[in-house]
Amino acid sequence: MLIRLIGVISKKNQGQVVGEFFELFKTPWEAYKPGRRYEVLVATADDLPDVSARLLLVYGCQTSSIDARQGVVVRARHRGARVCHHKFDVPIYGELATFEQVNSSTPVMTASAGVAGLRSVSATGDVVIRIGYDLFEEVRFLLTSGQPGEYARIPTLDLHIAILRNWILNEGLPVLEIPPSPAGHPFAVCLTHDIDFVGIRNHKLDHTMWGFLLRSTFGAALRYIRRSISIGRLLDSWRAAASLPFVYLGWTKDFWAPFQWYLQVEKGLPATYFLIPFKGREGERVPGRHAYRRAAAYEVTDLKDWMSVLKRYGCELGVHGIDSWHNVEKGRSEAAKIRELVSGRPAGIRIHWLLQDSQTPLILEESGYAYDSTSGYNETIGYRNGTTQVFRPLGVTTLLELPLNIQDGALFYPHNLNLTNSDAQKSCERLLANSQEFGGVLTLVWHDRSHAAERFWGDFYLVLIRMLKSSDAWFASGTDAVAWFRKRRQVRFERKGTGDGAITVLRYDGQTPVPSFKLRVYSPTSAANRARRPGDWAFVDILWRGEKDIEFDPVLNKIPETGEMPASLPQ
């Protein structure tokens, strides 16, 4: 079994996109070197040199220089299409070409308008797969513009990786990768909380108080009439409304107070709290008619006592940014405000109301943040950038993005998905299944008052926590999850030797990853895979702590076919 680097021939402006794609699909690759023979060669350039590869994958909607030699004829071009490969149904955001099928070719991908991928054999016996979209332009769109809400629940970028892997394996070629999941766990989970309010006691005769009273009295009665809440929940809402004067007087507990409830529910689990640095600031460049509602009635210094408690329980404290998304100076001042109470600069930020634009990653990086967790949806759940993984936004050097997947308000607000608990569980189970299949991080945000009246979304949060605990996921703070993916990005694949004797070497010079990495090996010719359906591949996972360089060919010859994870690499 021979693991070699995948060669890549891309368009001149796609270098950064290619690099990020292969950080997500962490497998051996290199930019094409003329004169080298590759087992697998991926190309998006329209004008290809005379190349040698056992499997050549040519992506693009424009006519390629290889089409005439392979008898490939573009039939039509389309926009807004979806393509299908085995069980994968994938939206295409750029232009898609469909092809005429000839007797010497086999369809490997279809669209409603026709054949979107063809497999043929060249005169030299090598396999050519011609695909009608530009893979790296699709990746660029996903990492910059992001998916529209209608496709939010499709991990589109991860599906592109899975399809490419499948085409390689279908040709009997092995695949080595470091999957985006730590050893011993199928994926990671980040529990996060955006602290917009710290109690209703801070809100007297303002829109927040009046809105609460309206929703907890007449609104609750209307929901009861519509049978969306029980009589018990209706009475709970009315009791909370009736207790409001006593809350203001300090005679009874503030039912919106968040920290004690979350610490009890998440006992033993790390969580990340994003805290607003300045009181009364709605921020600049806020869209919409109600920008004033963005201003908080507290600031982080009001939480000094609670911050020490949260840190003692192992929680992470980040910035819930106001103007950091568009202004470097304000980004730094917001971090400095929280640094007054936290030793060291806060590593992470999530912008209040999820405001962002194309320059936000650069601004946050220059402001000194290690990661951002703003990339998500207010109106739905899923994958704005089409991936379950932590990724680096295009154009930055150090900042990483921790995508936001599940938001309480998206699930339950009447103007958003407005789901029942039962339907919300089904929707979250779908994302949980994606995490089981593709790895990565599942990031949740439950807001400060969501557990209490009048929302009462705490019951579902308890269900969600139980689901996640039973999945054997790795629970991590935002900083710890991002740090693990940052270490994975430090792993390098290098070519050693020349010609047919060249082998692939894996090197890692960083700190020991905790949890460890997995080296995943797919051997399509193994007994385990010969008995499987096409596209359903067995693999072997090997635990690796990064403690030494690995030359893969000698190792692979000794890998068992059981699928078990040895305690360490075979000697």
Q: What's the topology of domain 6-173?
A: Rossmann fold (3.40.50)
| Mean pLDDT computed over 317-327 | 97
3-state class (DSSP) for residue 518? strand
Identify the residue with better confidence: 37 or 153. 153
Cis status, amide bond into 138, omega within 30 of 0: no
Going by pLDDT thresholds of 50, 70 and 90, the confidence category of residue 95 is very high
What distance in Å separates the CA atoms of residue 405 and residue 549, rounded to the nearest whole number? 35
Alpha helices in 503-551 (DSSP H): 527-530
For residue 35, pLDDT over 90 is answered with no
For residue 32, pLDDT over 50 is answered with yes
What single-letter amino acid sits at 358?
A: S
- The pTM score is 0.94
Contact 405, 376 (CB under 8 A): yes
Going by pLDDT thresholds of 50, 70 and 90, the confidence category of residue 101 is confident
3-state class (DSSP) for residue 390? coil
What distance in Å separates the CA atoms of residue 470 and residue 459, rounded to the nearest whole number? 17
Residue with tokens 């043929």: 120
The backbone torsions φ and ψ at residue 55, rounded to the nearest 5 degrees and listed phi first, read -130, 120
For residue 525, pLDDT over 90 is answered with no
What single-letter amino acid sits at 316?
A: E
Contact 202, 195 (CB under 8 A): no
| Mean pLDDT computed over 56-60 | 96
What distance in Å separates the CA atoms of residue 33 and residue 35, rounded to the nearest whole number? 6
Task: Give the distance between the most distant pair of CA atoms in the chain.
Answer: 86
Q: What is the pLDDT of residues 116-128, one digit of tens each?
A: 999 999 888 899 9
What confidence score (pLDDT) does residue 315 get?
94
| Mean pLDDT computed over 526-538 | 70
Going by pLDDT thresholds of 50, 70 and 90, the confidence category of residue 561 is very low
3-state class (DSSP) for residue 173? coil
Mean pLDDT, the chain, rounded, equals 91
Alpha helices in 475-540 (DSSP H): 478-490, 527-530
* 303: its two tokens: 């939480």
Going by pLDDT thresholds of 50, 70 and 90, the confidence category of residue 534 is low
3-state class (DSSP) for residue 457? coil
Contact 477, 271 (CB under 8 A): yes
Q: Please count the CA atoms within 13 angstroms of the CA of 235 that sit on its side-chain side.
A: 3
- CA angle, 83 as apex, 82 and 88 as ends, to 5°? 110
Contact 544, 550 (CB under 8 A): yes
What distance in Å separates the CA atoms of residue 432 and residue 442, rounded to the nearest whole number? 8
Burial degree of 451 (CB within 10 A; 0-12, 13-18, 19+) = buried
What single-letter amino acid sits at 36?
A: R
For residue 564, pLDDT over 60 is answered with no
For residue 57, pLDDT over 80 is answered with yes
Burial degree of 362 (CB within 10 A; 0-12, 13-18, 19+) = middle
Q: What is the pLDDT of residues 147-194, one digit of tens each?
A: 999 999 999 999 999 999 999 999 999 999 999 999 999 999 999 999
The DSSP secondary-structure symbol of 543 reads E
What confidence score (pLDDT) does residue 494 get?
86
What confidence score (pLDDT) does residue 570 get?
33
Least confident of 1-10, 207-216, 241-250: 1-10
Least confident of 21-30, 308-317, 527-536: 527-536
The DSSP secondary-structure symbol of 72 reads -
Q: What is the pLDDT of residues 392-432, one digit of tens each?
A: 999 999 999 999 999 999 999 999 999 999 999 999 999 99
What residues contact 393, with CB distance under 8 A and at least 6 apart?
A: 143, 144, 361, 399, 401
Going by pLDDT thresholds of 50, 70 and 90, the confidence category of residue 250 is very high
| Mean pLDDT computed over 85-89 | 91
For residue 571, pLDDT over 70 is answered with no
| Dihedral sign from CA coordinates of 555, 559, 563, 569 | negative
Cα distances (angstroms) measured from residue 451 to each of 73, 230, 302, 454, 535: 59, 17, 21, 9, 43
* Superfamily designation of domain 188-199+256-484: Glycoside hydrolase/deacetylase (3.20.20.370)
Percentage of the residues of the chain whose pLDDT score is greater than 70 = 94
- Locate the DSSP E strands across 267-326: 271-275, 316-321
Length of the chain: 571
